[in-house]
Amino acid sequence: MSTTDFLRDLIRIHSLSGQEGPLAGRVLQEWGALGFDEAYTDEAGNALGVVRGQEPGPGWLLVTHLDHVHEGDASLWEFPPFEAVLDGDTVHGRGAVDIKGPLAAQTYALGRLLARGVRPRRDVWVAAFTDEEIGGTGADFFVKNAPAEFGGVIVGEPSGSGLMLGHRGVATVRVKFKGRAHHASLALQDENPVFAAAEFIQRVRAHEFPEHPITGSTTLTVTQMFTDSGSENLTPNTVEVVLSWRFNEEDDVNRRTLAELLEGLPAEAELTPLWSRSNTPGFQTPPTDPLTGLVERYAGRLKAGSGVWKFATDGRYTAAAGWPTVGWGPGDEGLAHTTRERVSVRELEAYADTLAELLEREVPPER
């Protein structure tokens, strides 16, 4: 079995959020065959593997996840989404880059060491979490029931094999505008909640957020709109607007911003408490952090410089637990969740080789 063969096996197994069991079983099988010291699932369904190191002390945690998003209309794909087609240097399919390619590469980074009879300097845990795509309940369970002490976390989400220093928080906000349904011929604009919703959307569009030195500016984007009207000549009683909020600010600041955007409008809105599925913060690791410098020495061989993700990751949970966290994974993040999802075999292999070298030579920085 090779990194590519393992990845193709993983892609062929459907693993939507909440349906990760069969994939977890295949992952544990591979870890056992490669000689991992432990390979098991916890109460949340997370797949966890351990390779014991040569030295005592806080170890490494390599993070990916088991679930993927829906494939959508399969006819829009160049290659069938679950056939794991290998076309030249490229493996195609749902999950190829988010995140079964990185999972396969992390697995075979350790597999390379074990095949040579080499142990990493410190214990290495590989964690493939459940439910990452719908809020991160698997990661949440893991950090609350930590099985070991971790001195450094590498989140393997696709980053073009470059170093990532974090991402913004993410919240889903639902705003309901209230009016009174009436015959469209009356044109009672004050009673039509569509106009209030339109005013709100214009305010969102005009609102300016401050720039964050690491993760950039907050964004607030309208994603969906619904009404309770089922007729073309009937105005609605209600209009619901759904927003995706990618934020840097503290929770109380976000609540004040939402109140300002809604001021004077006939509406009610909910911003759920932090660490609920629809409101989780991001994380930022400074460029001056010792973990940043250590991982950059290796990631920089594959891609110079550092960046931040636009999307959220389970790194929000590990960082909040106080475990130093950076991102580093193979694959083009822009292909995640698209019908063009694919990953380069050469990039997977280069990442696995480089990660293996880091784990063989390095220990997490002391704090």
pLDDT digits (tens, 9 = 90+) for 254-312: 999 999 999 999 999 989 999 998 999 999 999 999 999 999 999 999 999 999 999 99
pLDDT at 75: 96
Say if residue 219's pLDDT is above 90. yes
User: What's the pTM value of the predicted model, to 2 decimals?
Assistant: 0.94
Averaged pLDDT for residues 228-246: 96
**Rounded mean pLDDT of the chain?**
97
Domain 3-167+282-361 class in CATH:
alpha beta
- Mapped onto helix, strand or coil, the DSSP state of residue 10 is helix
Q: Which residues of 309-328 are buried (b: 16+ CB within 10 A; e: fewer)?
A: beebbbbbbbbbbebbbbbb
- Pair of tokens at residue 134: 């719908």
103 bridge partner residues: none
Task: Please list the residue range(s) of the chain that carry CATH number 3.40.630.10.
Answer: 3-167+282-361
Radius of gyration (C-alpha) of the chain in whole angstroms: 23
- For β-strands 325-328 and 86-87, DSSP reports them as unpaired
Q: Is 114 exposed, middle or buried (0-12, 13-18, 19+ CB in 10 A)?
A: middle
Query: Where are the domain boundaries for CATH 3.30.70.360 in the chain?
Result: 169-279
Name which CATH class applies to 169-279. alpha beta
Is the pLDDT score of 230 beyond 90?
Answer: no
> What are 267's strand-pairing partners?
177
Pairing between β-strand 150-155 and β-strand 219-227 as defined by DSSP bridges: unpaired
pLDDT tens by residue, 91-140: 999 999 999 999 999 999 999 999 999 999 999 999 999 999 999 999 99
